[in-house]
Structure 1
C-alpha cells in the first residue's frame, strides 16, 4: 500500500528533496539517509537494467518489476516514473493498479507520444492535452488508496512553448492530478511563472538534472517560487558511473586494486551490512543450534 507520509508531507507544506534511485544499491544507500521520498528514475532504471537509452524501449513489465522491488526493499516512500502509462487508457488503468500493488507510493505519467524520450533530450512530441487529461482521470479512478499520488507531467514546453505547458499543467491538475510537473523550463523566470500560475493550487515538481535544460535552484528558492518537490533523478547514476570509471581505470593501469584511495571504495564490510548480511548471519546462528545432528 502507498505510504501516507508522502501526502501528509505535502499537506503540511514540507519541501521534499528526492534523490533518484535506479537499482537496489542506490536505493539502500538513499533509504538510510532520512529523505522524505525517493524517486525511481526511468532513465536510470532502463540504463542499469537494460543498458539502453530512455527512449520508450522498456515495457510495463520491465518497469513495474524493478520499481516494485525498489519500493519493497525500502522504508522511504517511492515515486516511480511510468512514462506514458505504457499505452492508452486501459494501459494506464492497469499500470496504476500494478504500481500501487507493488508498494509504490506515487506514479509519474507524461503526455508524450509513444515512443517517449527523456525529458531533457530533443525531439519530444506530445499528445493532445485533452487525451492526457483523460489519462489522469483514469489514473485517479484506478487507484485504490487516496494516498497513492498521481504526478502529471507535461513535456510541451520544449516544442509548444511555456504558455501551452502551463495550460496543460492546469488542465491536468483539474483532471485530478495530485502533483503537477512542467518538464524542462529553461530559466528561473520561467519557473517563477509556472509557480505563480500553478503553485497556489497544486504542488509543483522541479526536475533537477545536472547538465539538463533547467537551472538547478536551491531548495529554499524553489519553495519561495511555489514548488513543493525537487527530484534529482540523474545524480546517483552520474556519480556511480564516474566512480566506476575511476576505479576501473586504476585497475587497468596497475593490474590490481592496491593503492586505490580509501574514499574511492565503499568497503566490503560496509556493503555486506548495507545488503543485510548481518541479519542472515544471525538467522543462521540462531537456527544452527536447533539443526538435527547428522548421522
Structure 2
C-alpha cells in the first residue's frame, strides 16, 4: 500500500493513542491528533510540541468534525479502564456509537483507510479459552461493565456496516491487556495498580483468590501489531496481545521482585462480571501479519519502572 501522508488519530492523548502517534510519525506521516482530554493527558504528547508534522485538536468526537483531508483514520478515543468507564458510562456509550460514526464519516468522505481499537472485552467472561476471533463472546449486556463492552461491540457492528454498505476500507484490532509507560497510574488496571502500590510501599490488592488469569502485552509490541494490521487491509477483527498467561497472584509476585518492594499481598472480593480468564489466540496475527510479541512480562515491567517511579514522585 502507498505510504501514509496525513493521518488522523482520535484519542491521541491517551496511553495507546500517544504511542501510536509516535509510531505513525516515525513512518513519515503528518498526524492530526484529536482528544477531548476526558481521560487523556497532554503530558503524553508534550515531547511532540516542536514537531512540525504533528498538530493537536481538542474536540469531543461525539460531535461531528472535519480537520481536513486524511488518508487514514485510527479511532482510539474511549475511556478504557474500569475506573474511567464506570464513572463515565453514558459518555463511553456515546463515544462507541456517535464517536465511531463521526470518525467513519471522515474516512468515508476522504476515501481513507480506517482502523478501530476494539477490545478483548468483546469476549466478556469467555467460555472459550484461548479466545479466537470467531468466538462471539459471553457478555452481560446490562452489567456494570456493559457500558464499555457493548459500546465496543456496537462499534464493531457499525464498522462492518460501513465496510459492507459504503466500501470503507476498515480494520479492527481486539486489544488484550496492555501496559507500559504513560499508562494512567490510578486507572484501576492490574499493572498500574500493582506497580504504584509496590513502589509506594502499600499492600498489593488482589481481587478474589488471584487465580484468575490475564495476558499482558507491552505497548511497543501492541503498537507494532496495530501498524502492521492497518497496512494489511484485513476487515475482520484481529487479536493483538501476548498469549503468555499469568495468574494475577503470580503477576503480583513478579511486580514485588522487579520493584524490590517488601509490600504484602492482600485479598479483596471479586468485582461483578470480572473475567476469570483472558488469553488471545494469535494464530491469525501470526499468519496474516507475521506478528508476535517480543517483550515478556518481567522485561516489560523493568522497562516501565522509571515511568511509574516518576508518577510516584509526582504524587508525593
Larger Rg over CA atoms = 1
Tell me the TM-score normalized by structure 2: 0.34
TM-score (norm 1): 0.35
Q: Which of the two has greater strand per residue?
A: 2
